Structure 1
Amino acid sequence: MPLACCLHGERKFVPAILLLFTLWQAKPAHAQEEYIEPPSKFITRLPITLFTGGVIVLRARLDDHPDTLNFILDTGSSGISLDSTTTDYLKLKPTEPQKTIRGIAGLKRVGMLNDRTLYFPGLAVDSLDFHVNDYQTLTSVYGEKIDGIIGYSFLSRYILKINYDSAYIDVCSRGSIKYPKGGYLFRPFINTLPVQAAAVKDNRTVQSRFLYDIGAGLCVLFSKDFIEDSAFLKKKRKVYAKQAEGLGGKIDMHITILKEFRLGPYKFKKIPVNIFDDEFNVTSYPSMGGIIGNDLLRRFNCILNYSKREFHLKPNTHYNESFDYAYSGLEMYMIDGDIQIAEVAKNSPAEKAGLKMGDVVIGVNNDFTQNLNRYKVAMQAPKQKVKMVIRRDGKLQEVTVSIKSIL
């Protein structure tokens, strides 16, 4: 049956099949015009500083304050935060505690600083809601003031191209993008935090999911529950006690060697891994087995595209670097302007050398710069002897630590 339509006042008859064909042709063309995504555009290039374990630090200003602040870039953070001492220094008043945040060492109620703006070179990021937390432990660990952590609130707005070879990040607008050749495109599950599948192999091979965490200065972190339930780690594998730091403070861990860790097509053998008792279920076990940290991820130049849920990784010049197999059993922190021994593990090389908590480190291997990061790097010398000059009870002493290898 023909359909009737009115054209310029005249009554015309158009075959139904012809009308339907015309409508069908027009609709896809219109739909294509609506959904063509504009290409991503370069916005600015930000220099970065790498701390121990590959942790990335960015510098930015807050609102109209002239001071430049240090922020850790962290895919393991579901928001954005500011240090409480920095908040006091800037004379800012957060709200009463209204939000609970969770870290490897505890839960904490925090206040908020709402609707703030961060100013990077060539980029202003507005409408940011900061939670306020105490990052004094992180400042002590790295020997430089840590003013905050930048997470999902920033990461989700842009495409970030992180170049560890040249120490910069290109910030680009969201949009269509052509990934470089020679890498691999991952599609992590992202609900503020990116979760990526990976395989671990030791006594047997096990598939699990891991938090993709560039704010963690380690290779891989397993929850104790995952280790015990999966039984993939050889029972006679030797473990070494150490201490780590995170949200909520310090936490005891153990470090050992894993036969193989596979991330997509990339395989890493004899990789150092940390194991901890996940009391606060940061890893959401059994949903995840642990965390992939930046001492492994820094071996790739990467593109983080949160809007498309795509991470592109391409091996860089650090890809074949040796892992840190050194074990001294000591932890050095910057405390009240001094580099101090803050932890000495029982039966460790540090304890056998006679080091004690509270010893002030004056120099390491004739380096008296008082640069904490350089001292930590100097201790990464498996099967080597490291000379330290310390001050104890007002007197200087020279101590030699025979660094172990966990291999």
Structure 2
Amino acid sequence: MKKLIILTLLLFSIPVWAQEAITTLPFEIVNGHIYIKVVVDNGRPLNLAFDTGARANLLHEQVAEELGFNIDGVQQVNDASGIVKIKSSYNHSMKVGSLDFRGETFLLMNLDHLGDEDHPMDGVIGGSILDEFITEINFDDSEIRFYERSGFKAPEGFTEEKMTLEPFRVPIINCKLMLNNGTAKEGFYLVDTGAALAIRFNVPLVKKQKLTESLLPNYAYTSRALNSESTDYIGRLPAFEIMGHKFQSFQVRMATDAGGVSGRSSVDGIVGLEILKRFNLIFDYRQEIIYMQPNSLYNTFFLENFSGLKVKKQNGRLHVEAVADNSPALDQGMKTGDEILSVDGQKNLSRMAFLEYVQPMRKDVKLEVLREGKIIFVSLKPRKII
């Protein structure tokens, strides 16, 4: 049986709270994921993504080998695109701030595709902690705070929203999508801080509402979840309402893979971090309540790809994994496999720094590119693709 030991209490005064946090963890957002430091089996601090969509603890198989994990079994996991079999290891310790967890099970897999060399993803946690504590994700302060359930009262400045945890034991809330033809459809959506996107619509909704035909133009985007690969279409949604707040004209993904969660009709899709980060959030799993408060990120621009390049950092270079149709990159003949050596003379840019730099306000971005052993120069003119 899993045992939880509270080692110490961090006492500090926050006037608006009915009680104080048991422990507080700083976090940073990198490549669309929330990262915290966690110690497993008394090893080094690991970079773990905090994911409300993760029921199980995940660990990179290379980190598991470093820590001397045994392989104790195989489990089936339902990811966004299908059921995958993953190796598992039992009876480990995990220290999260001042909280010690015992008897933890970890699923082991290669997570290279979810991180990059600038910020590797060592693992993922979520449900094992959210089940135990009331959990606040405060984006204003870049902190995650854990509270005891006993005596907890709604904080000032937050509004209360009902959620359900069934059938996935992941938060599900009611939202509304709005289309140009006047269609407004309410539906249930998973609240997934581990999804580096705004909205991803499930296949049944995409087909029923003919979204790939109505959200035009759009382009194909291939990505990986856990151990599976799928292709979505990216289009621009007129409006979406979540927890009483409406967001307009931003990019969304439309799933085509009917396997896994994306094939379920019981939920219409996933709300990811690109929307969720605009609210300070508090999760109470026992009462099935989310408390929310708009924060300083509320009116920030939605991240958007203005080059058409999908890149990944490897060996200090940005490797081109895909080139979108109808994009500046395709116009200039960029190809899959190209390696970007510099961007306007800047070397060693991270993937996110590249995405944020290549904006329409820059009329011309010069890329130094290595292709088949030869260096060429490409001039991109960033613009909206859709």
Would you say 1:197 and 2:174 are equivalent positions?
yes
Query: Counterpart in 1 of 2:40?
Result: 62
Query: Counterpart in 2 of 1:25?
Result: none
Would you say 1:88 and 2:65 are equivalent positions?
yes
Would you say 1:334 and 2:313 are equivalent positions?
yes
Would you say 1:362 and 2:341 are equivalent positions?
yes
Whether the aligned pair in 1 keeps the contact of 2:327 and 2:385 (CA below 8 Å) is no
Give 1:40 shift. Answer: 5.3
In structure 1, stretches of 5+ residues that fail to align are: 1-38
- Hey, what's the Cα distance between the residues in 2 that align with 1:187 and 1:236? 30
* % identity of equivalent residues: 25
Query: Counterpart in 1 of 2:235?
Result: 256
Check 1:385–1:244 CA distance in 2 against 1; reply closer, same or farther (3 A cut): farther
Letter in 2 for 1:171: F
Q: Any idea what SS the aligned residue of 1:77 has?
A: coil
Query: Counterpart in 2 of 1:320?
Result: 299
Whether the aligned pair in 1 keeps the contact of 2:199 and 2:269 (CA below 8 Å) is yes
Check 1:115–1:40 CA distance in 2 against 1; reply closer, same or farther (3 A cut): farther
Whether the aligned pair in 1 keeps the contact of 2:313 and 2:350 (CA below 8 Å) is no
Give the 5 Å matches for 1:222-237: 222-231=201-210, 235=214, 237=216
Letter in 2 for 1:57: Y
Give the 5 Å matches for 1:363-382: 363-381=342-360
User: C-alpha deviations, 1:20-76, integer Å up to 9, x for none?
Assistant: xxxxxxxxxxxxxxxxxxx754111111010133x20111111122x2211111111
Give 1:382 shift. Answer: 7.2
Count residues with an aligned counterpart: 365
Whether the aligned pair in 2 keeps the contact of 1:220 and 1:290 (CA below 8 Å) is yes
- Hey, what's the Cα distance between the residues in 2 that align with 1:207 and 1:138? 31
Whether the aligned pair in 2 keeps the contact of 1:226 and 1:285 (CA below 8 Å) is no
Letter in 2 for 1:266: H
In structure 2, stretches of 5+ residues that fail to align are: 1-17
Letter in 2 for 1:277: T
Query: Counterpart in 1 of 2:55?
Result: 78
User: C-alpha deviations, 1:171-228, integer Å up to 9, x for none?
Assistant: 2222232333333211110142111111111120111101110100111001232122
Q: Select which of 170, 182, 193 maps to 1:214.
A: 193
Letter in 1 for 2:68: K
Check 1:233–1:372 CA distance in 2 against 1; reply closer, same or farther (3 A cut): closer
Check 1:237–1:370 CA distance in 2 against 1; reply closer, same or farther (3 A cut): closer
CA RMSD of aligned residues (A): 2.2
- Hey, what's the Cα distance between the residues in 2 that align with 1:253 and 1:102? 18
Task: Indicate the structure (1 or 2) with the bigger Cα radius of gyration.
Answer: 1
User: C-alpha deviations, 1:212-265, integer Å up to 9, x for none?
Assistant: 101001110012321221357873621122233321244222111111111121
Length-normalised TM-score, structure 1: 0.83
Would you say 1:164 and 2:139 are equivalent positions?
yes
Check 1:187–1:384 CA distance in 2 against 1; reply closer, same or farther (3 A cut): farther
Length-normalised TM-score, structure 2: 0.87
Check 1:75–1:284 CA distance in 2 against 1; reply closer, same or farther (3 A cut): farther
- Hey, what's the Cα distance between the residues in 2 that align with 1:406 and 1:371? 22
Letter in 2 for 1:208: G
Query: Counterpart in 1 of 2:113?
Result: 137
379-388 or 248-257, which deviates more: 379-388
Q: Any idea what SS the aligned residue of 1:111 has?
A: strand
